[in-house]
Amino acid sequence: MKTNTSTSQKIGAAIFAIGAIYMFGLGWLYSWWVVPAANQVGSVAFSGLLGFIWSLSVPLGAFIVAIGAALTARVERRVFWLLILLLVLSIAWGIVGTSNQMIPALFGIGGGLITLFFIGSVWQWARTRPTLTGTAKTGSDLRMVGLIFFVTAAWNLCGVFGIGNYVLRPELAVKFSVPIGNTINTASTVMVLLALGWGFTFFGQRMSRRAQAVDPQVDKGPQTAAAD
């Protein structure tokens, strides 16, 4: 939004802060109380209004943070309203859901798309990296490594839900006597990989931002890396 720049930026910063507190405060801190309670009494632990607000803390909070950041960054109106549209669609999807039935094709096609997007992103990184210099090049490298961790996490999730641990097919887990330790190990690996992926992405973006602060021409035009 490019009108009332200073005012919109202040509003954006406030919205960003609200979203960040919402995500971190309820999405993470409050989970330390909700999860143990849910392990004792089930969904009753988060069935009230506070539980409902908590359940939306990350998906809704992420959009609030993004909308606040968009106002702060003075994005074009179309970008701002695209975020609003995605927020509405995300809420609608959360209410309607997809299916309670196992749809193998959904996971198969999704996995194929993730693989293709990863390969394409790394190829674009290889094409654009030579156009970067110094810190901008390092930042692009870190973001690319983050992609490796993300795609590896996705692969390990297949091992959690499908072949290997059969979380979505408990009858097969029983049939093949899958030890719960295997599932815990794979799920823990996924968490570590996701944390590393986000860490490398964050520090990569930070380094690219520093490079752009030194040279405003960095990351403009054809230099935009697909690892972004």
Q: What are 98-129's pLDDT values in tens digits?
A: 667 777 888 889 999 999 999 999 999 999 99
Of 164 and 120, which is predicted with more confidence?
Answer: 120
Tokens 């297949």 found at: 158
Q: What is the pLDDT of residues 177-195, one digit of tens each?
A: 888 888 899 999 999 999 9
User: What is the distance between the alpha carbons of residues 73 and 91, in angstroms, rounded to a whole number?
Assistant: 24
The residue type found at 148 is I
> What CA dihedral angle connects 55, 59, 65 and 69, to 10 degrees?
-170
pLDDT of 16 over the 90 cut: yes
Residue 32 Cα distances to 27, 51, 188, 217, angstroms: 9, 13, 17, 45
What string of DSSP letters covers 61-104? HHHHHHHHHHHHTT--HHHHHHHHHHHHHHHHHHHH-S-SS--H
Each residue's pLDDT tens digit, 66-109: 999 999 988 888 998 999 999 888 888 877 766 677 778 888 89
- Cβ partners under 8 Å of residue 152, min gap 6: 193
- Both structure tokens of 130: 């030579």
Separation between Cα atoms, residue 165 and residue 176, nearest integer Å: 9
Residues 6+ apart with CB under 8 A from 172: 166, 178
